[in-house]
């Protein structure tokens, strides 16, 4: 597929839909906030206007702090504006790795952190009056081949032991719910559901502006100095404050921090044309539960309020040197299109209207990465939470604001641990791509088996 730039869009001249450089959910805001010019000061500077940064800014403002947010592009430009919109708790998180890494007691609290994130976002949507098409449908981790049952049940069992709540749905229960037949059986987490992440992050932005947060968009943090007062330098100005929060997630290594702690991974998405009433009726699926699969790299399939299907993940990629170019990933889009055909054969021929990619960050132990740095310990950061940040990175705002106010929330205390160091380049590029290639091959093996069954 060749591409040509047109303003914010890179138009795909062929291939699976139009590449959307801001993701499929949002446009650049009409009231884009002006770039920082000159020198300003505040109580706290937050860098990054995604779920983490905007939630932190809102929570701090409620505590009486004067807050500045510096955002390189516009609010929601990162993963927050371009994810799949699953407000998911602890369903399908890496229980086994957590257990090995931090032990039973701490792993229980980490699981509680993931679930508490859902309740937190639900409460904030109400409190802030954010309408983001939230459908509290619950989420089903649904298998596409019988060989996935063992892993699904084992993961569910371990989750239950760590306090996660879920129940098994057999074939009859899945059919009774009207779940499309490619999804055979599954594990249901009743809380959470799906939302429109663009509307959610823009709702946070609006609430932050109304609360008096000073947001500077088109304002990249270029460097910062440490000390009792931190100075943040941008192209045309500077901001200073006694506290700095780096809510830059997958982009943090580019600031020179967490380079050896998190790996930015590219995640891609496609969105179909709206389904016709007849196509919707043929699907059934009245509860519109968010579906994820138990592949090593999951697939996620959901209906949107505008009656399109959004399919994400399936193939992750890592760019050398932890870079995060905002460019099309055509291999991933084609594979997502194949997943769409495999899981929804009756919709064959349904057009794909758009595709996009974004970046999550992953620690080698898959645990959240949160803490303080700097001579005075007054530079806070939050990253990780891999592909589960809608709930968790929102809740992180509350935990970080309390921390700056002098209170260590028990959930924050539970997340503290030593994050393993990543490999230096070029070893990291080799190791991550080798691992991603291996899990992809294992997933494709399952997909081939599932295709054989459906073709019989």
Ligand X SMILES: Cc1cc2nc3c(=O)[nH]c(=O)nc-3n(C[C@H](O)[C@H](O)[C@H](O)COP(=O)(O)OP(=O)(O)OC[C@H]3O[C@@H](n4cnc5c(N)ncnc54)[C@H](O)[C@@H]3O)c2cc1C
Q: How many residues bind ligand X (CB under 6 A)?
A: 41
What pairing do the DSSP bridges indicate for beta strands 369-373 and 352-362? unpaired
State which of residues 71, 217, 299, 443 lies at the interface with ligand X (CB under 6 A): 71
Nearer to ligand X, 361 or 447 (CB): 361
Closest contact distance (angstroms) between CB of 66 and ligand X is 19
- Residue 23's beta-bridge partner residues? none
Q: Does 200 bind ligand X (CB under 6 A)?
A: no
Question: What whole-number distance in Å separates Cα of residue 298 and Cα of residue 225?
Answer: 40
Q: Does 51 bind ligand X (CB under 6 A)?
A: yes
Nearer to ligand X, 19 or 51 (CB): 51
Closest contact distance (angstroms) between CB of 251 and ligand X is 3
State which of residues 19, 25, 86, 333 lies at the interface with ligand X (CB under 6 A): 86
Question: What whole-number distance in Å separates Cα of residue 316 and Cα of residue 297?
Answer: 8
**Quick one: which segment of 48-56, 119-127, 145-153, 404-412 binds ligand X (CB under 6 A)?**
48-56
State which of residues 393, 419, 422, 447 lies at the interface with ligand X (CB under 6 A): 393
Structural contact between residues 299 and 141, judged by C-beta atoms closer than 8 angstroms: no
Phi, psi of 188 (to 5 degrees): -100, 130
- Identify whether 241 is preceded by a cis peptide bond (ω within 30 of 0): no
Q: Tokens 């860098």 map to which residue? A: 47
Nearer to ligand X, 12 or 75 (CB): 75
CB atoms within 10 A of CB 209: 18
Nearer to ligand X, 180 or 253 (CB): 253
Helices (H), 224-310: 277-283
State which of residues 12, 67, 70, 257 lies at the interface with ligand X (CB under 6 A): 70
3-state secondary structure of 63: coil
**Quick one: which segment of 148-156, 281-289, 386-394, 428-436 binds ligand X (CB under 6 A)?**
386-394
The answer to whether the Cα torsion of 151, 154, 158, 160 is positive or negative is positive
**Quick one: which segment of 43-51, 143-151, 330-338, 364-372 binds ligand X (CB under 6 A)?**
43-51
State which of residues 118, 269, 336, 362 lies at the interface with ligand X (CB under 6 A): 269
> Six-digit token pair at 221?
């943090």
State which of residues 42, 144, 187, 247 lies at the interface with ligand X (CB under 6 A): 247
Nearer to ligand X, 249 or 354 (CB): 249
Q: Tokens 């098994």 map to which residue? A: 168
3-state secondary structure of 203: helix
Q: Does 68 bind ligand X (CB under 6 A)?
A: no
Structural contact between residues 16 and 270, judged by C-beta atoms closer than 8 angstroms: yes
Structural contact between residues 447 and 342, judged by C-beta atoms closer than 8 angstroms: yes
**Quick one: which segment of 14-22, 38-46, 185-193, 242-250 binds ligand X (CB under 6 A)?**
242-250
* Interactions with ligand X, residue window 114-133 (CB under 6 A): none
- Residue 267's beta-bridge partner residues? 358
State which of residues 16, 18, 36, 72 lies at the interface with ligand X (CB under 6 A): 72
Structural contact between residues 232 and 69, judged by C-beta atoms closer than 8 angstroms: no
Q: Does 245 bind ligand X (CB under 6 A)?
A: no
Nearer to ligand X, 83 or 447 (CB): 83
Q: What angle do CA 450, 453, 456 make, to 5 degrees?
A: 150
**Quick one: which segment of 130-138, 150-158, 250-258, 278-286 binds ligand X (CB under 6 A)?**
250-258
Q: Give burial (CB, 10 Å; 0-12/13-18/19+) of 267.
A: buried
Q: Does 83 bind ligand X (CB under 6 A)?
A: yes
Cβ-proximal residue to ligand X, closest one: 389
Question: What whole-number distance in Å separates Cα of residue 260 and Cα of residue 427?
Answer: 12
Question: What whole-number distance in Å separates Cα of residue 12 and Cα of residue 26?
Answer: 18
Q: Does 50 bind ligand X (CB under 6 A)?
A: yes
**Quick one: which segment of 95-103, 157-165, 256-264, 384-392 binds ligand X (CB under 6 A)?**
384-392
**Quick one: which segment of 37-45, 243-251, 272-280, 434-442 binds ligand X (CB under 6 A)?**
243-251
Q: Tokens 């429109």 map to which residue? A: 196
**Quick one: which segment of 11-19, 84-92, 156-164, 272-280 binds ligand X (CB under 6 A)?**
84-92
What CA–CA distances, in Å, run from 24 to 17, 95, 204, 339, 356?
11, 31, 18, 19, 7
Q: Does 52 bind ligand X (CB under 6 A)?
A: yes
Q: Does 390 bind ligand X (CB under 6 A)?
A: yes
55 contact partners, CB below 8 Å, separation of at least 6: 124, 204, 393, 394, 395, 396, 397, 398
Q: Does 224 bind ligand X (CB under 6 A)?
A: no
* Interactions with ligand X, residue window 324-363 (CB under 6 A): 358, 360
137: left (phi over 0), alpha (psi -120 to 50) or beta: alpha
Q: Does 33 bind ligand X (CB under 6 A)?
A: no
Q: Catalog residues that contact ligand X under the rule CB under 6 A.
A: 47-53, 70-73, 77-80, 82-86, 88, 220-221, 247-251, 255, 267, 269, 312, 358, 360, 385, 387-391, 393
């Amino acid at each position: 597929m060749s591409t040509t730039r047109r303003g914010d869009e890179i138009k795909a001249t062929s291939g699976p839909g139009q590449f959307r450089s801001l993701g499929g959910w949002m446009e650049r805001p009409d009231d884009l906030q002006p770039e920082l010019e000159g020198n300003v000061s505040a109580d706290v500077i937050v860098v990054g206007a995604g779920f983490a940064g905007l939630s932190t800014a809102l929570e701090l403002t409620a505590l009486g702090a004067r807050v500045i947010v510096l955002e390189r592009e516009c609010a929601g430009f990162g993963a927050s504006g371009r994810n799949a919109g699953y407000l998911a708790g602890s369903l399908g998180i890496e229980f086994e790795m957590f257990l090995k890494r931090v032990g039973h007691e701490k792993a229980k609290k980490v699981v509680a952190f993931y679930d508490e994130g859902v309740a937190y976002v639900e409460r904030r949507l109400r409190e802030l009056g954010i309408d983001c098409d939230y459908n509290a449908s619950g989420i089903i981790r649904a298998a596409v081949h019988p060989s996935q049952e063992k892993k699904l049940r084992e993961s569910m069992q371990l989750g239950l032991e760590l306090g996660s709540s879920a129940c098994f749905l057999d074939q009859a229960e899945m059919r009774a719910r009207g779940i499309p037949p490619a999804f055979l059986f599954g594990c249901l987490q009743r809380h959470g559901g799906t939302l429109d992440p663009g509307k959610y992050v823009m709702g946070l932005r609006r609430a932050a502006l109304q609360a008096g947060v000073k947001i500077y968009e088109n304002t990249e943090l270029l460097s910062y100095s440490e000390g009792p007062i931190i100075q943040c330098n941008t192209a045309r100005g500077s901001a200073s404050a006694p506290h700095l929060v780096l809510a830059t997630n997958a982009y943090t290594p580019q600031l020179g921090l967490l380079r050896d702690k998190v790996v930015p991974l590219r995640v891609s998405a496609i969105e179909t044309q709206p389904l016709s009433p007849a196509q919707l009726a043929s699907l059934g699926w009245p509860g519109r539960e968010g579906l994820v699969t138990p592949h090593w790299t999951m697939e996620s399939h959901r209906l949107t309020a505008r009656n399109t299907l959004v399919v994400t993940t399936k193939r992750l990629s890592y760019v050398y040197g932890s870079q995060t170019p905002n460019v099309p990933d055509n291999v991933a889009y084609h594979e997502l299109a194949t997943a769409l055909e495999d899981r929804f054969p009756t919709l064959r021929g349904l057009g794909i209207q758009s595709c996009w990619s974004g970046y999550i960050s992953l620690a080698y132990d898959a645990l959240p990465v949160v803490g303080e740095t700097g001579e005075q310990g007054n530079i806070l950061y939050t990253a990780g939470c891999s592909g589960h940040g809608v709930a968790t990175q929102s809740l992180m705002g509350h935990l970080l604001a309390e921390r700056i106010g002098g209170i260590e929330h028990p959930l924050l205390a539970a997340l503290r641990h030593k994050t393993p160091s990543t490999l230096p380049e070029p070893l990291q590029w080799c190791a991550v791509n080798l691992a991603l290639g291996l899990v992809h091959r294992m997933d494709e093996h399952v997909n081939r088996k599932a295709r054989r069954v459906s073709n019989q």
